[in-house]
A and B are shown apart, each in its own frame.
Chain A
Amino acid sequence: MKPWLLIKNEIGYRKVGFGIGLACVAIAIGSLSGSITLLQAHEARTEEILAQRERETREEMERLENDYRRIMRNLGHNVMILHADQSRAALRAAGHPDTYLPEAYVHRLGQGYIETLNHLLPVLQERTTWPERELDIILMGTPGQVPVAHLTRFLTEDGEAYRNPIISPIPEGKIEIGHAIAQELGLRPGDTVTLKGEPFEVHRVNAAQGSEEDIMVWCNLDVAQRWLDREGLINIIFALECVCDIDGLGAITEEISALLPDVQVLEFSSRVIARGEARQRAEQEARRAIAAEIAHRAQIGDELRTFATILIPVVLLASGLWIFFLILGNVRERESEIGILRAIGVKESVIVSIFLSKALFMGLVGAVIGYCIGVAAGALRGGAGLFDARFWAFFNPALLLISLLVALILCALAGWIPAMWAAQRDPADILRGE
């Protein structure tokens, strides 16, 4: 015969009392595991929402950036690098710079680590006449865009050229002409013309821009240098300002002057800049919104935590007291039993173990019930659906272990005094009879 038989049968005999005890433990553990699960669910949901916001923002930013790139491509470049001595008045008056830079400068930029600029286009630009046709033109000699070596995402596999250049190199023996020239001279792509005594094929006629571009003739840099007698020289480096910085000019100037000491940087095309700024603002706005959301959800989390830190001890204390009185009542009910067991020669420690084991068993079963109910309620309240995989993920063994431990400690504490009292009852008082 083992004490366990007494515990088991007594529980069956006094089901209601045991049931109330179970309910107490379940409520205590339920509010513990429920609060923890709710907090976890809240945090998981926060992360989910934020991840989604971030994704949306990123997509929006990418869209804006693509827009921006498109505009850039349409408008061409928005930054000019000129010689430091170049007068802006003279530039405006002549329509082209009258100071020159070594061609090597552009390669220095391309090899240097510049972040604020991209799509470097070295040009030798000069106003001249087309002698055979007696026409004023702006001659534009360029070797095509010079890659920025570290901006690999813009480069072809071999890193030698841009993936999508704004201006490709002009093929040998060909020229590109502005819309006004083409109209004036009645030229089409494929026509052959003579320019400064050399034959060229019209490679392309550029679309009408309503600007000086319409009277530009684009040719290879070598050709222009030869004609203008400017071997190894250029007078403008066009570039595209990166979309990453609002204070573009300052940063660009700083970066460039570190590599090229005797140049100045000019910005033009304010529409592009406005777009860039709008994009920056949109991004900042989105970041602010996300930050606000984080703060808001963190506040809710804090409130939940505060609530839980008040609720859990109160519920634990109340349940502990209730369990204490239940077990005390149970001891009183079982006085006759205690008396006869002592008379039979059962040791005090066995009496203690009978009451304490029952309390611990109650804690164990109550903890499992409370854990299941608490986690389920916490997960549902925290926004997980009953049939989500997420819902089941909240049932973790660590929390079960904590629940069991807390319940066992609670029941051991609540059961200890009544069990000791039971063991120390004087059997003579019970057995003497009325």
Chain B
Amino acid sequence: MSRVRLIQTLLIGGSVALLEILCRAGVIDHFTMIPPSDMLLSLIRIARTESWFWPDVLYTLRNLAVAIVIAVAGGFLIGLGVHAVPRLRRCLDPLFSSYYSVPTFVLYPLLIVIFGIGPASLIVMGALFGVVAMIVATLTALDRIPRALIKTARIMRLDALRGVLMVRLPAAAPHLFTGLKLAVAYCVIGVIAGEFILATAGIGRRLSFSYNNFDNQTMYGVLLLILVFAATLNALLNIWEKRLHQRWYR
């Protein structure tokens, strides 16, 4: 395992170093991209000196948290409901599977008209993005519960509630967790995309704002923050997911 980590570190470090050299040597010009080290310095600078930094970060995080809760809980419940009605499910499957090929945020301006420009629109945007991933994962999870386990629950004469809590949910947990992971990733995309398009605050808005003002230093600092945040979140969820899967499956 440590060898894998070593190679990964070398690979990522090497790419960053290569980018640094290309930028410094002028192969990539300064208007296109600033060297990674400058991005980091810029991020540190804005975090320490700019008064907008923490309020914007907190604004995004708060909206994101609410969106995730809505997407995961809502997606799970909708998934349960749809799974219970196979005919409905058969109709909805093509919709679910093509959902992510349509840029849902074209509807964002309409959301602004309905909910006003502010947290509510962003939260709905993020939740709309994440919810289908959770629905699909819930359906898969319910499909994949081994029939022998469900029969065992019946032989043990668990009532409906216990059957769900003690057998079905744990048996479905690995796939549900994968859904959670995807829903989180999509919520991040939805909230930040919404901020990017139109918002009064938030880290995504700061990105588009600095881009439109040709402020490359700030833009790359903020971009680095977003990428590192998304990557870290994903890595943490991945590790957790892997633990879960290792216990459930060989």
A complexed with B = no
